[in-house]
Homo-oligomer: A and B are copies of this chain.
Amino acid sequence: MAVVPVILCGGSGTRLWPVSRRDFAKQHVPILGGESPFQRTLQRIAATGLVGTPIVITSVGERFLAADQAAKAGVPIEIVLEPERRDTLPAIAVAAELAARRDPEAMALILPSDHLIPDFDAFARTVHAAAAAAAQGDLVTFGLTPTKPATSYGYIRPGALNGSGSRHIEAFEEKPTAERAAALIAEGCLWNSGMFCFQAKAGIKAIETYAPETAKAVARALAQGEDDLGALRIGPAFADAPKISFDYGIMEKTDRAVVVEADFEWSDIGDWREIWEQSAKDESGVALEGEAVALDVRNSYLRSDGRLVCALGVENIAVVDTPDAVLVAPLDRTQEVKDLVGKLAAQGRAEATEPARVHRPWGWYQTVDQGERFRVKRIQVAPGKQLSLQKHHHRAEHWVVVRGTAEVTRDNELLMVRENESVYLPLGCVHRLANPGKIPVEIIEVQTGAYLEEDDIVRIQDDFGRH
């Protein structure tokens, strides 16, 4: 049985702000020990013993981050680029089609990228049970045992047991009130996890039946698909697919919807409170991450990215510090952080969407200081990568290499610049920073000039197709 794992990298990056941002969403945030939920998802898939290369459906903005994190996790992936976010049905329609192309008899295993499931063995058992059930032609969803009367999830009422170990779904109920949720739980309802397993051909057939508009738009979009530096870039017809979830569009309509009970600890890390719940805590209920100090603090989460975070005498508080923004909120109101981010975005603040450390296909950069007519950045270039050949109209740059050996193009010169050496790039010169070596190159860049924004760049050649 060929199982094709498909990872959906959605998420707007607001829930774990300020660590997550639009351009650095939840699934890529290193949490609980340094790895991201996306990396853990890749490892969890590998541990099931299913050998198909995972397909990762993501955005142009996060593709290099996904590739980089997958490489660090040691898991090869295929990347599919959505031209825009259209909820889960269009993405899953793409996934079903690509799985069927790989093998007409393939089984598609659809997984969100931002779930935490610590018990890999229990996950693997559930996946195998789901695949066995899906082999009957059913569309299988993973039902989770509720742990609280959550109002933000969908609930599933399981019916009679099938021969294949799954249960028919009697009813779906989305986002009930807390009271209603408690009643649903008492009746044995399960949380709808957003994880699915089905035969690719069964999925395609269901989508053609219940969502023909989506099926057509996705077929056109795939026909328009192009290779983009090794990834599959879906065509613009994707935008014609209605914005709808796979649950609403298919599962609630088909009579082949079944549920397999997933008996494992699970979190979708919906807010900082969940991170706190999952974290190691002291006897006062305080979880510290990074350089944090608490004095007479109870039931709180203190997280630092480097700076010293100190709390005194508070209770039920989350303090989350990043290089450019700090958040303070009661733990039990951290689900409202998205409203705060909305307010910041409405004010046009870059901190709402852009992370302090900006990931690029070649590595990353971070502004570490700025003043009138100057800006200082730290730039890291991965081994074997290079930035575009470029020039600026309004700034000169001084580069000091602090790690590794950089190959610098400056007009007609090609210079090797070693650690503790520097090079000056006058305004208007055509230049490029490359790392031909085996370890990362890091430089400190001092920009001077009257205008120092990212858009003062003329790209002459770029390995990553940017203009």
Instruction: Flag whether A373 is at the interface (Cβ < 8 A).
Output: yes
Contact A422 B420 (CB under 8 A): no
Q: How far is the CB of A16 from chain B (nearest CB, A)?
A: 14
Contact A313 B329 (CB under 8 A): yes
Contact B376 A403 (CB under 8 A): no
Residue-wise, chain A 295-314 has the 8 Å CB interface mask toward B (1 for contact) of: 11000000000011111111
Q: In the complex, which residue of chain B has the Cβ closest to the Cβ of A396?
A: B420
Known: A328-B314, A398-B422. A351 touches B308 (CB 8 A): yes
Q: In the complex, which residue of chain B has the Cβ closest to the Cβ of A427?
A: B420
Contact B330 A313 (CB under 8 A): yes
Counting every copy of the chain, the complex holds: 2
Contact A328 B311 (CB under 8 A): yes
CA distance A293 to B403 in the complex (A): 38
Known: A313-B333, A327-B312, A448-B420. A373 touches B403 (CB 8 A): yes
Stretch at the interface among A93-101, A103-111, A209-217, A316-324: A316-324
A122 CB contacts on chain B under 8 angstroms: none
CA distance A403 to B403 in the complex (A): 27
Residues of A within 8 A of B (CB): 18, 293, 295-296, 307-314, 317, 319, 321, 323-330, 333-334, 336-337, 339-340, 343-344, 347, 349, 351, 368-369, 371-374, 376, 378, 396, 398, 400, 402-403, 419-420, 422, 424, 442, 444, 446, 448-449
A309 CB contacts on chain B under 8 angstroms: 325-326, 328
Q: A310-B340, A317-B328 provided; 4 other pairs, C-beta below 8 A?
A: A18-B310, A312-B327, A326-B326, A400-B448
CA distance A319 to B320 in the complex (A): 12
Contact B336 A313 (CB under 8 A): yes
Which of B307, B344, B422, B448 sits near A310, CB closer than 8 Å? Answer: B344
Which of B293, B324, B344, B424 sits near A293, CB closer than 8 Å? Answer: B344
Known: A307-B325, A314-B329, A398-B400. A340 touches B374 (CB 8 A): no
| Most B-side CB within 10 Å, residue of A308, A321, A334, A449 | A308
